[in-house]
Amino acid sequence: KQEVTQIPAALSVPEGENLVLNCSFTDSAIYNLQWFRQDPGKGLTSLLLIQSSQREQTSGRLNASLDKSSGRSTLYIAASQPGDSATYLCAVDYNQGGKLIFGQGTELSVKP
Amino acid sequence: DADVTQTPRNRITKTGKRIMLECSQTKGHDRMYWYRQDPGLGLRLIYYSFDVKDINKGEISDGYSVSRQAQAKFSLSLESAIPNQTALYFCATSDGLYTEAFFGQGTRLTVV
């Protein structure tokens, strides 16, 4: 079964710290991987999309990497801020027509 | 205005009632999706549509039906709501296999 796992489920860091969120997937034959942010009770905001032929994508303080051979992606957040507090979701398109399989998310809390 | 709009944003309904959740998009995308989010289970795909004449079941379609009224509109119906359909429902769009998925703000449905 194709699955996506995110560890840890929750993470608390002090403001200013650099941090890494992890995402693993069971099947390396992916089309793309997308990172989302979700604020409590709100919708999903797309952060970064990495296509299967790419190794990383960057947007501002965010950098996402993809290693298909090991079935892993990481989201690096530099110089974290309290406004980064949210749940971060990883989703994989497993060559199934754009249908996404989601991890359960990592709830990030950045303390002032 | 949001690119993907869901109505209603919140709804409380009684067991056995029929309810429709609506989604409209201004992104011009052909592909539309309905997901539900439950605490601890992440997001799971209910139905998806690649164009107006195309409807496909997702992972958890039992108890749901959909209608693609136009390229921009995709509705989800619960024919006879039951309490375990209480969840946060999301509509999403994309324009192909390699591109980003965009999500609406969600509909919080409570079945009592």
pLDDT digits (tens, 9 = 90+) for A56-97: 999 999 999 999 999 999 999 999 999 999 999 999 998 666
Over range A96-100, report the average pLDDT. 77
For A84, left (φ over 0), alpha (ψ -120 to 50), or beta? alpha
Mutation to test the A interface, candidates B31, B43, B108, most A Cβ within 10 Å? B43
At residue A14, what is the residue type?
A: P
Q: Is A40 on the interface with B (CB under 8 A)?
A: no
Name every chain B residue with its beta carbon within 8 A of the beta carbon of A41: 88, 106, 108
pLDDT of residue A95: 67
Taking one residue from A and the other from B, the number of pairs with CB-CB distance under 8 angstroms is 64
At residue A37, what is the residue type?
A: R
Of A42, A93, A97, the CB nearest to B106: A42
CB-CB contact of B75 with B22 (8 Å)? yes
Mutation to test the B interface, candidates A100, A101, A104, most B Cβ within 10 Å? A100
How far is it, in rounded angstroms, from Cα A32 to Cα B76? 26
Average pLDDT, chain A: 93
CA-based nearest distance A18→chain B, Å? 26
pLDDT of residue B97: 63
How far is it, in rounded angstroms, from Cα B101 to Cα A66? 18
Q: What is the maximal distance between C-alpha atoms in chain A? A: 42
Q: Is A5 on the interface with B (CB under 8 A)?
A: no
pLDDT of residue A22: 97
A5: exposed, middle or buried (C-beta count within 10 Å: 0-12, 13-18, 19+)? Answer: middle
CA-based nearest distance B80→chain A, Å? 25
Report helix, strand or coil for B51: coil
Q: Which residues contact B13 (CB under 8 A, 6 or more apart)?
A: B19, B81, B109, B110, B111, B112
pLDDT of residue B40: 77
pLDDT of residue A70: 94
CB-CB under 8 Å, A51 with B98: yes
The tens place of each residue's pLDDT in chain B, 112 residues long, gives 679 999 999 999 999 999 999 999 999 999 999 999 998 778 999 999 999 999 999 999 999 999 999 999 999 999 999 999 999 999 999 987 667 899 999 999 999 9
Would the pLDDT of A12 be above 90? Answer: yes
Over range A26-31, report the average pLDDT. 86
At residue A66, what is the residue type?
A: L
pLDDT of residue B1: 61
